Amino acid sequence: MNQILVLRLGEPVSWVIVDASGARLGPVSTGAVADAAPLAAERRVIALVPGTDVTLAEPELPARGARLAQVAPFALEEQLAGDVEDFHFAVGKQSEDGRARVLAVPRERMTGWLASLEAAGLAPEAMYCETLCLPENPGKTVVVLEGGQLTVQPPAGLPFALSVEPLTEAFALAGLEGEDRHVQLYVAQQDWEGSRNMIEALREVTGSLDLQLLPDGSLPLFAAGALARPPLSLMCGPFAPRSGLGAQWRRWRLPAALAAGLVALLAGTSVYELVKLRDEERRLDAAIEQTFRVAMPDVQTMEDPRQQMSQRLGAGAAADPSGLLGRLDALSQAFVAIGGVQIRSLGWRDRMLDLRIFAPTGETLSELARAVGQRGLSFDVQSTVPREGGVDGLVSIRPAGAT
């Protein structure tokens, strides 16, 4: 996965997609956590949390190795607004002088962040304090101004976040004033208009001030810092990222839900088609039975209609070798010889061919009877009805001598 979704938790949540070096690959977007979830498919996810919610220190710890996590909370006890038991701690590597970077965040706040991400189907691999994601600039104090808040990285020392009004007082508390102070100031576009005069005043009381506007806010800057030098992650201990099937399931939960929906749709369609086919089968069975009853009224039991009707037709063919096809052939020759005759309907029962025909005149029917008789068939006119332009006749054709 060469693309990373970087989420900045706040109100509202903002996010951006970057590559492995931290370079932007898309625009900065804002909304609810769930709005960013579709972008997490096949991408790594990193979360950034506000620096004002995290206590940062580098105390000298008397213990080493596995005992660091046990003693670190008590080294920050005086800096925390609450009981040590109510905080979650992340402890970095210990240096040779015994110092180690320690992050502390209220356990309830940590739980809330992760719960909101999990509810949206997001499983971050790391959670960084945005204060630790400032770019480094040796010899200068790096400052980000956004939303009236200062995030400060001194040339030497720990970064910190300030939210103080008025802004000039925040500049003073951050230690930005003085001829020996050289400042690299990043200002979010929305803060520039209201803070321009105070920033220009700061220029007068510092050794130097380099200004850079952030048209899309500070998230791209923090994202680049997080990828260039990954800081200490808050996701450790009881909040460590899940591995194995649990993590994979969260990542693929949305695709799996879509696949399950597709399977359900296909299954529903198959069931619907099966019901339609069964209805069609019942309809055909009813039509077959009706045809059987009409064609073979003397047969009481219908067991295998196809075989029973074949047997009946076979018996009829034995008694009448010419059969239906032979009779129709003889009749067609007679029609061609006479001309002007049209067949209205045709029926076949008990070796008898019943026709309803239209002829130009009654004499035409007589000529047709003679022509058919010459071919060994009996042509009986059952009835005639005068019509405009001719006459309708109901005739029966059977082998000569048959009754």
- pLDDT tens, position by position, 302-323: 777 777 766 665 555 445 545 6
Q: What proportion of the chain, given as a percentage, has pLDDT over 70?
A: 90
Torsion, Cα of 10, 14, 17, 22 (10° steps) = -60
Statement: residue 244 has pLDDT above 50 = no
Residue of 316 and 43 predicted with greater confidence:
43
* Lowest-pLDDT range of 29-33, 50-54, 128-132, 269-273: 269-273
Q: Parallel, antiparallel, or unpaired: how do β-strands 149-153 and 160-162 relate?
A: antiparallel
Cis peptide before 38 (omega within 30 of 0): no
178 touches 205 (CB < 8 A):
yes
Phi and psi for 218 in degrees, rounded to 5? -90, -10
For range 62-68, the mean pLDDT: 70
Tell me which amino acid residue 148 is.
Answer: G
Residue of 70 and 182 predicted with greater confidence:
182
pLDDT at 243: 60
Statement: residue 145 has pLDDT above 70 = yes
* Lowest-pLDDT range of 43-47, 178-182, 197-201, 368-372: 368-372
Q: Domains along the chain?
A: 3-241 (3.30.420.380), 251-319 (no CATH), 320-399 (3.30.1360.100)
Q: CA-based angle 381:386:392, to the nearest 5?
A: 45
Statement: residue 156 has pLDDT above 90 = no
Mean of the per-residue pLDDT values of the chain: 85
Quick one: pLDDT band at residue 295, thresholds 50, 70, 90? low
Torsion, Cα of 238, 242, 246, 249 (10° steps) = 130
Task: Give one word for 339, left, alpha or beta, with left for phi > 0 and alpha for psi -120 to 50.
Answer: left
pLDDT at 1: 57
Tokens matching residue 13: 């949540």
Most confident of 144-148, 316-320, 360-364: 144-148
Query: Any idea which residue has 């007679």 for tokens?
Result: 334
d(CA 242, CA 124): 10
Quick one: pLDDT band at residue 252, thresholds 50, 70, 90? low
Query: Any idea which residue has 């208009």 for tokens?
Result: 193
Residue of 223 and 340 predicted with greater confidence:
223
Query: Which tens digit of pLDDT belongs to each residue from 378-395?
Result: 888 888 888 888 899 898
